[in-house]
């Protein structure tokens, strides 16, 4: 089977993100218990992906040498944090979200450095990792929000606002799909910015 072209890879990623956005939209309807269970499923899924790709990461480490030291440290740190027991309180949920998000942000920064300086194989691996981290962070933001707001009157307003933002993102992926030949890193920057804007709504303080 021939290797997919650059445009085909981008189109596959766009289709995948559109499905991801639809799943996020459905998650807005979950109660706190269901959201907690779904979050644990997402954590397990990410751990599995990281375990399955250990061999690929090992090859990259050997290729880039010392530059992979910080990346490896944060990679292992994230694996350990993903193994922690489920949060039982709102405070625990917020703390876990903050710690996971901070570690993933640093890991993505290290991955981008390797992507820019390593081989094509290293760049593809780091691109896959950054995409996977962004997906998990989106689920983390949506699902953790339920701990704080399930019973609050403001939750309905918040949910509608978040749903509207997700609908706009879904429409945007359709636009991006029409220009799939554009540079992938530019598109990735767009999706990361979009989710950063979305997360600001999820993290909004409510009285």
- pLDDT tens per residue across span 151-183: 455 667 777 777 887 888 888 777 777 765 556
Domain chopping of the chain, boundaries: 6-202
Residue 187 contacts residue 21 (beta carbons within 8 Å): no
**pLDDT recorded at residue 148:** 57
How far apart CA 28 and CA 96 sit, in angstroms, is 20
Q: What six digits make up the tokens of 148?
A: 């704080």
Lowest mean pLDDT among 102-106, 146-150, 192-196: 146-150
Alpha-carbon distances, residue 114 vs 64, 100, 120 (angstroms)? 8, 21, 10
Count of CA atoms in the C-beta half-sphere (13 A) of 17: 31
Half-sphere exposure of 125 (CA within 13 A, CB side): 25
Q: Which residue has the tokens 């644990």?
A: 40
Per-residue pLDDT band for 2 (boundaries 50, 70, 90) equals low
Model pLDDT, residue 182: 54
pLDDT tens digits, one per residue of 5-64: 666 777 787 788 888 888 988 888 888 888 889 999 999 999 999 999 988 888 888 888
Task: Confirm whether pTM is higher than 0.85.
Answer: no
């Amino acid at each position: 089977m021939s290797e997919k072209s650059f445009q085909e890879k981008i189109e596959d990623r766009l289709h995948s993100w559109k499905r991801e956005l639809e799943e996020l939209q459905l998650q807005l309807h979950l109660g706190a218990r269901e959201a907690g269970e779904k979050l644990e499923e997402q954590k397990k899924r990410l751990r599995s992906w990281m375990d399955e790709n250990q061999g690929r990461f090992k090859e990259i480490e050997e290729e880039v040498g010392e530059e992979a030291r910080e990346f490896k440290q944060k990679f292992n740190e994230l694996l350990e944090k993903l193994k922690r027991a489920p949060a039982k309180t709102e405070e625990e949920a917020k703390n876990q979200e903050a710690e996971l998000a901070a570690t993933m942000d640093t890991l993505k920064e290290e991955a981008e450095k390797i992507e820019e300086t390593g081989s094509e194989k290293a760049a593809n691996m780091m691109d896959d990792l950054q995409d996977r981290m962004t997906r998990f962070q989106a689920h983390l933001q949506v699902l953790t929000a339920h701990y704080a707001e399930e019973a609050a009157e403001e939750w309905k307003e918040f949910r509608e606002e978040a749903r509207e933002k997700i609908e706009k993102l879904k429409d945007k992926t359709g636009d991006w799909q029409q220009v799939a030949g554009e540079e992938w890193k530019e598109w990735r920057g767009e999706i990361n910015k979009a989710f950063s804007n979305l997360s600001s709504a999820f993290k909004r303080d409510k009285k």
